Structure 1
Amino acid sequence: MFLRLAIISIAFALGTLCPALAATHPVDCTLTVDGKSYIAGVCEFSRDKGGSFSIYGDRYWAMVNVENGRGEAFWNAMPGATHAQAALGGVHQAGGCWEGSRVRICALTIEATRLDAIMGRRAKGFLISPEYMDYACVSTAGYRFVPGATLAIDRCDYFWGVRQHVFRLTENHLTVDGKPELCIDAKSAAGGKDMRLVVEDCARIAIRWIYDKDNKTIRSSNDLCWNIVFPERQGGNNWSGSLIARPCEPDAEKNGRFELGGN
Protein backbone atom coordinates (compact mmCIF):
# COMPACT_ATOMS: atom_id res chain seq x y z
CA MET A 1 0.00 0.00 0.00
CA PHE A 2 1.46 3.28 -1.07
CA LEU A 3 1.42 6.15 1.32
CA ARG A 4 -0.19 9.24 -0.17
CA LEU A 5 2.34 12.00 -0.30
CA ALA A 6 1.66 15.20 1.57
CA ILE A 7 1.49 18.32 -0.53
CA ILE A 8 3.47 20.95 1.23
CA SER A 9 3.68 24.51 -0.18
CA ILE A 10 1.84 27.96 -0.47
CA ALA A 11 1.72 31.27 -2.36
CA PHE A 12 1.28 33.64 0.56
CA ALA A 13 3.55 36.28 1.96
CA LEU A 14 3.82 35.84 5.70
CA GLY A 15 3.34 39.57 6.15
CA THR A 16 -0.17 39.57 4.66
CA LEU A 17 -1.46 36.20 5.90
CA CYS A 18 -4.49 36.39 3.66
CA PRO A 19 -5.62 34.42 0.59
CA ALA A 20 -3.64 35.41 -2.48
CA LEU A 21 -4.66 35.21 -6.13
CA ALA A 22 -3.11 31.85 -6.95
CA ALA A 23 -4.39 28.60 -8.40
CA THR A 24 -5.86 26.04 -6.04
CA HIS A 25 -6.91 22.44 -6.41
CA PRO A 26 -8.74 19.94 -4.19
CA VAL A 27 -6.93 17.68 -1.74
CA ASP A 28 -7.89 15.66 1.34
CA CYS A 29 -7.41 17.95 4.32
CA THR A 30 -7.27 17.94 8.08
CA LEU A 31 -7.23 20.97 10.33
CA THR A 32 -7.41 20.21 14.04
CA VAL A 33 -6.79 22.99 16.55
CA ASP A 34 -6.67 22.40 20.31
CA GLY A 35 -8.27 19.00 19.77
CA LYS A 36 -11.22 20.29 17.75
CA SER A 37 -11.72 19.50 14.04
CA TYR A 38 -12.32 22.46 11.72
CA ILE A 39 -11.59 20.89 8.32
CA ALA A 40 -11.92 17.18 7.57
CA GLY A 41 -12.23 15.97 4.00
CA VAL A 42 -11.91 17.63 0.60
CA CYS A 43 -10.75 21.24 0.67
CA GLU A 44 -8.81 23.66 -1.51
CA PHE A 45 -5.01 23.78 -1.52
CA SER A 46 -2.41 26.31 -2.67
CA ARG A 47 1.38 26.15 -2.60
CA ASP A 48 4.63 27.89 -3.51
CA LYS A 49 8.07 26.66 -4.46
CA GLY A 50 9.54 27.29 -1.05
CA GLY A 51 7.67 24.49 0.73
CA SER A 52 4.96 26.65 2.33
CA PHE A 53 1.29 25.76 1.83
CA SER A 54 -2.28 26.61 2.75
CA ILE A 55 -5.59 24.74 2.98
CA TYR A 56 -9.07 26.27 2.69
CA GLY A 57 -12.29 24.84 4.07
CA ASP A 58 -15.62 26.51 3.52
CA ARG A 59 -15.26 28.79 6.57
CA TYR A 60 -11.80 28.14 7.98
CA TRP A 61 -8.34 28.17 6.46
CA ALA A 62 -4.80 27.66 7.67
CA MET A 63 -1.28 28.06 6.40
CA VAL A 64 2.15 26.68 7.21
CA ASN A 65 5.10 28.89 6.45
CA VAL A 66 8.11 26.63 5.89
CA GLU A 67 11.69 27.84 6.09
CA ASN A 68 14.82 25.66 6.37
CA GLY A 69 12.65 22.64 7.11
CA ARG A 70 10.87 24.30 10.02
CA GLY A 71 7.25 25.40 9.96
CA GLU A 72 5.11 28.09 11.59
CA ALA A 73 1.35 27.61 11.45
CA PHE A 74 -1.41 30.22 11.34
CA TRP A 75 -5.19 30.14 10.84
CA ASN A 76 -8.13 32.53 10.62
CA ALA A 77 -9.73 31.34 13.92
CA MET A 78 -13.05 33.05 13.09
CA PRO A 79 -15.35 31.50 10.46
CA GLY A 80 -15.14 33.45 7.22
CA ALA A 81 -12.27 35.71 8.30
CA THR A 82 -9.97 36.35 5.35
CA HIS A 83 -6.78 36.86 7.39
CA ALA A 84 -4.89 34.07 9.13
CA GLN A 85 -4.29 36.35 12.06
CA ALA A 86 -4.01 33.70 14.78
CA ALA A 87 -0.61 32.08 15.33
CA LEU A 88 -0.52 28.37 16.17
CA GLY A 89 3.18 28.10 16.86
CA GLY A 90 5.92 25.92 15.46
CA VAL A 91 5.10 22.71 13.59
CA HIS A 92 7.14 19.82 12.25
CA GLN A 93 6.48 17.37 9.44
CA ALA A 94 5.09 14.01 10.51
CA GLY A 95 4.42 11.81 7.50
CA GLY A 96 1.72 13.48 5.45
CA CYS A 97 1.00 16.19 8.03
CA TRP A 98 2.53 19.07 9.93
CA GLU A 99 2.01 18.92 13.69
CA GLY A 100 2.60 21.08 16.73
CA SER A 101 1.49 21.29 20.34
CA ARG A 102 -1.84 22.86 19.33
CA VAL A 103 -2.42 21.95 15.72
CA ARG A 104 -2.40 19.22 13.07
CA ILE A 105 -2.57 20.25 9.40
CA CYS A 106 -2.67 17.72 6.56
CA ALA A 107 -2.93 18.10 2.78
CA LEU A 108 -2.97 14.77 0.94
CA THR A 109 -3.26 14.00 -2.74
CA ILE A 110 -6.54 12.56 -3.98
CA GLU A 111 -6.54 9.40 -6.09
CA ALA A 112 -6.84 10.26 -9.80
CA THR A 113 -10.23 8.70 -10.52
CA ARG A 114 -11.83 10.37 -7.50
CA LEU A 115 -10.14 13.68 -8.34
CA ASP A 116 -11.47 13.55 -11.90
CA ALA A 117 -14.98 13.01 -10.54
CA ILE A 118 -14.65 16.00 -8.19
CA MET A 119 -13.36 18.27 -10.94
CA GLY A 120 -16.03 17.05 -13.35
CA ARG A 121 -18.75 18.30 -11.02
CA ARG A 122 -17.28 21.77 -10.68
CA ALA A 123 -18.59 24.90 -12.33
CA LYS A 124 -16.20 26.03 -15.06
CA GLY A 125 -17.28 29.58 -15.84
CA PHE A 126 -16.31 32.97 -14.44
CA LEU A 127 -17.13 34.39 -11.06
CA ILE A 128 -18.26 37.98 -10.59
CA SER A 129 -16.94 40.10 -7.72
CA PRO A 130 -17.42 43.76 -6.83
CA GLU A 131 -14.39 45.82 -7.78
CA TYR A 132 -11.73 45.74 -5.03
CA MET A 133 -13.68 43.02 -3.18
CA ASP A 134 -12.25 39.76 -4.51
CA TYR A 135 -13.36 37.97 -1.32
CA ALA A 136 -17.02 38.57 -2.27
CA CYS A 137 -18.87 36.85 -5.13
CA VAL A 138 -22.20 37.03 -6.89
CA SER A 139 -24.07 34.05 -5.51
CA THR A 140 -27.46 32.53 -4.70
CA ALA A 141 -28.85 30.77 -1.65
CA GLY A 142 -27.18 27.39 -1.36
CA TYR A 143 -25.16 28.12 -4.54
CA ARG A 144 -28.20 26.90 -6.55
CA PHE A 145 -28.34 28.80 -9.83
CA VAL A 146 -31.82 27.65 -10.83
CA PRO A 147 -35.00 29.43 -12.02
CA GLY A 148 -36.36 31.66 -9.29
CA ALA A 149 -33.05 32.02 -7.40
CA THR A 150 -32.25 35.60 -6.38
CA LEU A 151 -28.72 36.89 -6.95
CA ALA A 152 -26.90 38.39 -3.99
CA ILE A 153 -23.40 39.25 -2.85
CA ASP A 154 -21.84 36.77 -0.45
CA ARG A 155 -18.36 35.72 0.63
CA CYS A 156 -16.69 33.56 -2.00
CA ASP A 157 -17.01 29.95 -0.87
CA TYR A 158 -13.76 28.19 0.04
CA PHE A 159 -12.38 31.75 -0.17
CA TRP A 160 -12.06 31.15 -3.93
CA GLY A 161 -15.65 31.00 -5.23
CA VAL A 162 -15.36 27.36 -6.31
CA ARG A 163 -19.17 27.02 -6.56
CA GLN A 164 -19.65 30.53 -7.93
CA HIS A 165 -17.73 30.18 -11.22
CA VAL A 166 -21.02 29.98 -13.08
CA PHE A 167 -21.05 32.86 -15.56
CA ARG A 168 -19.98 33.11 -19.18
CA LEU A 169 -19.39 35.97 -21.59
CA THR A 170 -20.66 35.34 -25.11
CA GLU A 171 -19.85 38.34 -27.30
CA ASN A 172 -19.86 40.44 -24.12
CA HIS A 173 -23.32 39.12 -23.17
CA LEU A 174 -23.60 37.59 -19.72
CA THR A 175 -24.91 34.01 -19.62
CA VAL A 176 -25.00 31.07 -17.18
CA ASP A 177 -22.28 28.52 -17.89
CA GLY A 178 -23.55 25.15 -19.09
CA LYS A 179 -27.18 26.33 -18.87
CA PRO A 180 -27.94 28.28 -22.06
CA GLU A 181 -31.63 28.19 -21.20
CA LEU A 182 -31.07 30.42 -18.14
CA CYS A 183 -30.78 34.21 -18.05
CA ILE A 184 -30.85 36.94 -15.42
CA ASP A 185 -34.09 38.89 -15.07
CA ALA A 186 -34.74 42.20 -13.28
CA LYS A 187 -37.95 42.09 -11.28
CA SER A 188 -39.61 45.12 -9.73
CA ALA A 189 -39.60 45.42 -5.96
CA ALA A 190 -42.60 46.93 -4.21
CA GLY A 191 -42.33 50.63 -3.45
CA GLY A 192 -39.05 51.49 -5.11
CA LYS A 193 -37.04 51.89 -8.30
CA ASP A 194 -34.59 49.15 -7.38
CA MET A 195 -35.16 45.76 -9.01
CA ARG A 196 -34.18 42.28 -7.83
CA LEU A 197 -31.91 40.19 -10.04
CA VAL A 198 -33.33 36.70 -10.46
CA VAL A 199 -32.27 33.61 -12.42
CA GLU A 200 -35.02 32.84 -14.91
CA ASP A 201 -35.85 30.88 -18.07
CA CYS A 202 -34.58 32.90 -21.05
CA ALA A 203 -37.81 32.21 -22.95
CA ARG A 204 -39.75 34.17 -20.34
CA ILE A 205 -37.71 37.37 -20.40
CA ALA A 206 -36.41 39.84 -22.96
CA ILE A 207 -33.69 41.56 -20.95
CA ARG A 208 -30.05 40.75 -21.69
CA TRP A 209 -26.95 41.97 -19.88
CA ILE A 210 -23.69 43.26 -21.35
CA TYR A 211 -20.40 43.53 -19.47
CA ASP A 212 -18.73 46.87 -20.24
CA LYS A 213 -15.04 46.03 -19.84
CA ASP A 214 -13.94 49.66 -19.96
CA ASN A 215 -16.21 50.86 -17.15
CA LYS A 216 -16.54 47.44 -15.45
CA THR A 217 -20.30 47.81 -15.36
CA ILE A 218 -23.02 45.27 -16.09
CA ARG A 219 -25.83 46.97 -17.98
CA SER A 220 -28.89 46.04 -20.00
CA SER A 221 -30.14 47.20 -23.38
CA ASN A 222 -32.87 49.19 -21.57
CA ASP A 223 -30.27 51.06 -19.50
CA LEU A 224 -30.37 49.25 -16.17
CA CYS A 225 -27.13 48.73 -14.23
CA TRP A 226 -26.18 46.25 -11.51
CA ASN A 227 -25.53 47.78 -8.09
CA ILE A 228 -24.92 46.56 -4.55
CA VAL A 229 -26.69 47.53 -1.36
CA PHE A 230 -25.02 46.43 1.88
CA PRO A 231 -26.77 46.55 5.26
CA GLU A 232 -26.03 49.67 7.28
CA ARG A 233 -24.64 47.48 10.08
CA GLN A 234 -22.48 44.83 8.48
CA GLY A 235 -21.18 42.03 10.73
CA GLY A 236 -17.42 41.53 10.85
CA ASN A 237 -17.25 38.45 8.58
CA ASN A 238 -20.68 38.67 6.97
CA TRP A 239 -20.17 39.74 3.37
CA SER A 240 -23.81 39.39 2.29
CA GLY A 241 -25.46 42.23 0.43
CA SER A 242 -28.37 42.81 -1.94
CA LEU A 243 -27.60 42.80 -5.65
CA ILE A 244 -30.04 45.06 -7.47
CA ALA A 245 -30.63 46.71 -10.83
CA ARG A 246 -31.49 50.39 -11.13
CA PRO A 247 -31.37 52.98 -13.94
CA CYS A 248 -27.79 53.60 -14.99
CA GLU A 249 -26.20 56.87 -13.88
CA PRO A 250 -24.76 59.08 -16.65
CA ASP A 251 -21.52 59.15 -14.66
CA ALA A 252 -20.20 55.58 -14.99
CA GLU A 253 -18.27 55.95 -11.71
CA LYS A 254 -21.60 56.06 -9.84
CA ASN A 255 -22.72 52.68 -11.14
CA GLY A 256 -21.75 49.35 -9.59
CA ARG A 257 -18.37 48.13 -10.83
CA PHE A 258 -17.53 44.44 -11.12
CA GLU A 259 -14.57 42.20 -11.92
CA LEU A 260 -14.83 38.86 -13.72
CA GLY A 261 -12.65 36.15 -12.18
CA GLY A 262 -10.80 33.52 -14.22
CA ASN A 263 -12.45 30.31 -15.38
Structure 2
Amino acid sequence: MLIVTALLIAAAPAPAPVRSTLRRCYLRVDGKVHVNGRCRVFPLGGHGYTLNTWDGGKPRRSHFAQVDESRAGRGEASWNADPRDNRAGDPLGRVRWQNGCWVNARVKICAR
Protein backbone atom coordinates (compact mmCIF):
# COMPACT_ATOMS: atom_id res chain seq x y z
CA MET A 1 0.00 0.00 0.00
CA LEU A 2 2.79 2.43 0.87
CA ILE A 3 4.50 1.84 -2.49
CA VAL A 4 1.30 2.65 -4.43
CA THR A 5 0.85 5.90 -2.48
CA ALA A 6 4.44 6.92 -3.16
CA LEU A 7 4.00 6.25 -6.88
CA LEU A 8 0.85 8.38 -6.98
CA ILE A 9 2.61 11.27 -5.27
CA ALA A 10 5.61 11.01 -7.58
CA ALA A 11 3.34 10.98 -10.65
CA ALA A 12 1.45 14.15 -9.67
CA PRO A 13 2.37 17.12 -11.84
CA ALA A 14 4.53 19.78 -10.20
CA PRO A 15 2.76 23.08 -9.57
CA ALA A 16 3.54 25.79 -12.11
CA PRO A 17 6.05 28.31 -10.79
CA VAL A 18 4.54 31.65 -9.78
CA ARG A 19 5.84 34.48 -11.94
CA SER A 20 5.54 38.20 -11.95
CA THR A 21 3.37 40.02 -14.46
CA LEU A 22 3.64 43.48 -15.96
CA ARG A 23 1.09 45.90 -14.56
CA ARG A 24 0.48 49.61 -14.22
CA CYS A 25 2.12 50.48 -10.90
CA TYR A 26 1.91 53.39 -8.54
CA LEU A 27 3.78 53.96 -5.27
CA ARG A 28 3.37 57.18 -3.30
CA VAL A 29 4.93 57.53 0.15
CA ASP A 30 4.54 60.63 2.31
CA GLY A 31 3.27 62.64 -0.66
CA LYS A 32 6.13 61.76 -3.03
CA VAL A 33 5.53 59.50 -6.05
CA HIS A 34 8.31 56.92 -6.41
CA VAL A 35 6.83 54.57 -9.03
CA ASN A 36 4.34 55.56 -11.71
CA GLY A 37 4.27 53.34 -14.77
CA ARG A 38 4.60 49.74 -15.85
CA CYS A 39 6.45 47.44 -13.50
CA ARG A 40 6.67 43.80 -12.53
CA VAL A 41 4.33 42.60 -9.79
CA PHE A 42 4.78 39.30 -7.94
CA PRO A 43 1.60 37.88 -6.36
CA LEU A 44 1.69 36.82 -2.71
CA GLY A 45 -1.86 35.50 -2.42
CA GLY A 46 -5.15 37.34 -2.04
CA HIS A 47 -4.54 41.00 -2.83
CA GLY A 48 -0.97 40.82 -1.46
CA TYR A 49 1.99 41.40 -3.77
CA THR A 50 5.46 42.78 -4.26
CA LEU A 51 5.33 45.83 -6.53
CA ASN A 52 8.29 46.59 -8.82
CA THR A 53 9.91 43.19 -8.32
CA TRP A 54 13.22 42.40 -10.04
CA ASP A 55 12.78 39.09 -11.87
CA GLY A 56 15.12 40.31 -14.60
CA GLY A 57 17.53 42.13 -12.29
CA LYS A 58 17.15 45.17 -10.07
CA PRO A 59 16.56 48.41 -11.94
CA ARG A 60 19.02 51.13 -10.96
CA ARG A 61 17.89 53.21 -7.95
CA SER A 62 14.45 51.65 -7.87
CA HIS A 63 11.96 51.60 -5.07
CA PHE A 64 9.67 48.69 -4.41
CA ALA A 65 6.96 47.83 -1.94
CA GLN A 66 5.48 44.70 -0.48
CA VAL A 67 2.01 44.19 0.95
CA ASP A 68 1.21 41.12 3.02
CA GLU A 69 -2.54 40.68 3.34
CA SER A 70 -3.32 39.49 6.88
CA ARG A 71 -7.08 39.21 6.37
CA ALA A 72 -9.47 40.21 3.61
CA GLY A 73 -8.87 43.86 2.77
CA ARG A 74 -6.28 44.47 5.51
CA GLY A 75 -2.53 44.09 5.46
CA GLU A 76 0.93 45.35 6.35
CA ALA A 77 3.09 47.27 3.89
CA SER A 78 6.81 47.89 3.73
CA TRP A 79 9.26 49.28 1.18
CA ASN A 80 12.90 50.13 0.54
CA ALA A 81 13.16 53.81 1.53
CA ASP A 82 16.73 53.78 0.21
CA PRO A 83 16.46 52.74 -3.45
CA ARG A 84 19.86 51.02 -3.20
CA ASP A 85 18.46 48.54 -0.66
CA ASN A 86 17.41 45.16 -1.98
CA ARG A 87 14.85 44.38 0.72
CA ALA A 88 11.63 46.01 1.87
CA GLY A 89 12.78 46.62 5.44
CA ASP A 90 11.13 49.99 6.04
CA PRO A 91 7.61 49.66 7.46
CA LEU A 92 4.71 51.65 6.02
CA GLY A 93 2.19 50.37 8.53
CA ARG A 94 -1.23 48.84 8.29
CA VAL A 95 -3.01 49.34 5.00
CA ARG A 96 -6.50 48.71 3.70
CA TRP A 97 -7.69 47.68 0.25
CA GLN A 98 -9.60 50.58 -1.28
CA ASN A 99 -10.58 51.08 -4.94
CA GLY A 100 -7.97 48.61 -6.18
CA CYS A 101 -5.07 50.03 -4.13
CA TRP A 102 -3.54 49.56 -0.70
CA VAL A 103 -3.75 52.80 1.28
CA ASN A 104 -3.23 54.49 4.63
CA ALA A 105 -2.39 58.07 5.68
CA ARG A 106 1.22 57.70 4.42
CA VAL A 107 1.04 55.47 1.39
CA LYS A 108 -0.84 54.49 -1.75
CA ILE A 109 0.27 51.31 -3.52
CA CYS A 110 -1.46 50.22 -6.73
CA ALA A 111 -0.84 47.46 -9.28
CA ARG A 112 -3.53 47.34 -11.93
TM superposition shift of 1:25: 1.3
Give the root-mean-square deviation of aligned CA atoms: 1.7
AA aligned to 1:60 is: H
User: Is residue 50–residue 67 contact of structure 1 (8 Å, CA) maintained in 2?
Assistant: no
Q: Which residue of 2 aligns with 1:105?
A: 109
User: Is residue 44–residue 50 contact of structure 2 (8 Å, CA) maintained in 1?
Assistant: no
Structure exhibiting the larger radius of gyration computed from Cα positions: 1
| 1:94–1:50 Cα change, 3 Å | closer
Secondary structure in 2 matching 1:77:
coil
AA aligned to 1:83 is: R
Distance 1:32 1:75 in 2: 11
Greater displacement, 63-72 / 44-53: 44-53
TM superposition shift of 1:51: 3.3
AA aligned to 1:40 is: N
How is 1:1-263 mapped onto 2 (pairs within 5 angstroms)?
A: 22-56=18-52, 58=59, 59-69=62-72, 70-108=74-112
Regions of 4+ moved over 3 Å: none
TM superposition shift of 1:72: 0.8
Secondary structure in 1 matching 2:47:
coil
Q: Which residue of 2 aligns with 1:173?
A: none
How many residue pairs align between the two structures? 88
AA aligned to 2:21 is: H
Q: Which runs of 5+ in 2 are unaligned?
A: 1-16, 54-58
TM norm structure 1? 0.32
Which structure's residues are more often strand, by fraction?
2
TM superposition shift of 1:38: 0.3
Distance 1:22 1:84 in 2: 20
TM superposition shift of 1:22: 4.9
Could you report, residue by residue, the CA deviation over 1:67-126 in whole angstroms, capped at 9, with x for unpaired residues? Answer: 112111100111131110000011111111110111000000xxxxxxxxxxxxxxxxxx
| 1:32–1:93 Cα change, 3 Å | same
